[in-house]
Amino acid sequence: MQRYSRDGIVTLEAGLPIWERFFTVAPLVLIGTREASKSYDLAPKHMAFPISWDNYFGFICTPRHRTYQNIQREGEFTVSYVRPGQLVLTSLAAAPRCGEEDDDKPSLMALPTFPASKVNGVFARDGYAFLECTLERVVDGFGENSLLAGRIVAAHAHQDSLRASERDDQEIIHEAPLMAYLYPGRFATIDRTYSFPFPAGFKR
């Protein structure tokens, strides 16, 4: 039952998933894995994030998905941060396979790729940042989902997205816009940002 307070706050039923009741902002990445057949798969994920200030990266997946199964078997994966112009191709990467036992995902044929350098995997070409990860650990039990955490063993970024002392941060973002996924089911192009007003003496 919903309860309303005087200032418009609605109490949601915590016994059910709450995340489709309001929008949240997340990145959109393609996780690359190698299939048992030695072909490669790319799958879009939005529950994806750095883990600590050191070089670790994690994302949420379910053991039912081939991405989870591939990483458990191979022990490695890639991460491609995609651009707004890759929206349609990224969406196609979520298309179903030909059959239950078939590794083929025909939609991936339209997605240009290039090989990773240290792990056995591929990246989505034309992205702006690329991570190569070895599996650090899997934490199961978040309902039907799991956290897959990797250690970044190699990282690459397109030069138009790299921060540099001689370039203004807003200029970088304007010239190389970012894509955000607004769960559930919307996206945004970020090409304008503002400096965050950190208090004096703030340290991470």
- The reported pLDDT for the residue numbered 44 is 94
Q: What is the pTM of this model?
A: 0.91
**Residue 103 lies in domain:** 20-160+171-190
- The reported pLDDT for the residue numbered 98 is 55
In a domain, 41, yes or no: yes
CATH number of the domain at 43, please.
2.30.110.10
In a domain, 24, yes or no: yes
- The reported pLDDT for the residue numbered 2 is 56
| Total number of domains constituting the chain | 1
CA angle 30, 32, 34 (to 5 degrees): 160
In a domain, 68, yes or no: yes
Residue-averaged pLDDT of the chain: 91
In a domain, 8, yes or no: no
Distance CA 18, CA 21 (A): 6
In a domain, 200, yes or no: no
pLDDT, tens digit, for every residue of 67-111?
Answer: 999 999 999 999 999 999 999 888 878 776 655 555 566 667 778
In a domain, 131, yes or no: yes
In a domain, 198, yes or no: no
Q: Please give the share of the chain, as a percent, with pLDDT higher than 90.
A: 76
Residue 60 vs residue 2, higher pLDDT: 60
List Cβ<8 Å contacts ≥24 apart for 102-105.
Answer: 103/35, 103/36, 103/37, 103/39, 103/41, 103/66, 104/39, 105/41
In a domain, 199, yes or no: no
- The reported pLDDT for the residue numbered 4 is 61
Question: Nearest CA to 81 among 110, 44, 54, 56?
Answer: 44
Locate 64 and state its tokens: 């039912």
